[in-house]
Amino acid sequence: MRIVLVGPPGAGKGTQAAFLAKNLSIPHISTGDLFRANISQGTELGKQAKAFMDAGDLVPDEVTIGMAKDRMEQPDAAGGFLLDGFPRNVSQAEALDVMLQAEGMKLDAVLDLEVEEDEVVKRIAGRRICRNDSSHVFHVTYAPPKAEGVCDTCGGELYQRGDDSEATVRNRLEVYHTQTEPIIDYYKAQGLLVTIPALGEVSDVTKRAMDALKK
């Protein structure tokens, strides 16, 4: 299957992508991983991306599209893939259609993880990270530490990352509404959109998505 996963920041795309890709035996292709891999390997596209990022600029569509194309042409993606974070806007969605058509392929579904805006803010702004080990993550509401501000695992200080503040989250949501949300209408017009309520246990959301894909 060839699937695109969309949804606002904080919808749980990364978590769901990993579970769905495993259940469907297809690679999970995330733009974050693509950028990191290309930059660390020093590819031509990676060098271009790094130059823009170092200057504080957005990476142009053609660089992102080039990275995605290279990755989708790898042997493990021949039988399908799950795209997470790409396409990010309508021009990228159009480029993806052209790429797939050139190979005689098409998307099977676009899964839209739906979460209320206030819930997104609550999820992200409530995160607390351990200063000693960033893999130790807590949440003031959903997974609070035993002692406020102290990591259960190692006793390190818990803090809120700057990009997890409510103001930053609201700004990220605004960018999502402006740039990414239009692709929902784009795919709806193609009859590919499947909306999945993303509230509740991770396993419940995965089951909803798998049931929707079977239909």
Q: Supply the pLDDT for residue 215.
A: 83
Q: State the helix-helix crossing angle for 13-24 and 202-214, rounded to 10 degrees.
A: 50
pLDDT score for 58: 81
pLDDT at 189: 97
Predicted local confidence at residue 8, as pLDDT: 93
Buried b (16+ CB within 10 A) or exposed e, 85-115: bbbbbeebbebbbeeeeeeeeebebbbbbeb
Active site residues: 13, 88, 127, 161, 172
Please give the structure tokens belonging to residue 48: 């271009």
CA 83/CA 134 separation, integer angstroms: 25
Q: Per-residue confidence of the chain (215 residues) as pLDDT tens digits?
A: 999 999 998 899 988 999 999 999 999 999 989 999 999 999 999 999 999 888 888 889 999 999 999 999 999 999 999 999 999 999 999 999 999 999 999 999 999 999 999 999 999 999 999 999 988 999 999 999 999 999 999 999 999 998 899 999 999 899 899 989 999 999 999 999 999 999 988 899 999 999 999 88
* Phi/psi at 150 (5° precision): -125, 130
- Token pair in block for residue 186: 């784009």
At position 133, the amino acid (one-letter code) is D
| pTM of the complete model | 0.86
Strands (E), 71-212: 81-84, 109-114, 127-130, 137-139, 158-159, 193-197
Six token digits for residue 164: 């997890």
Domains and CATH numbers, the chain: 2-117+165-214 (3.40.50.300)
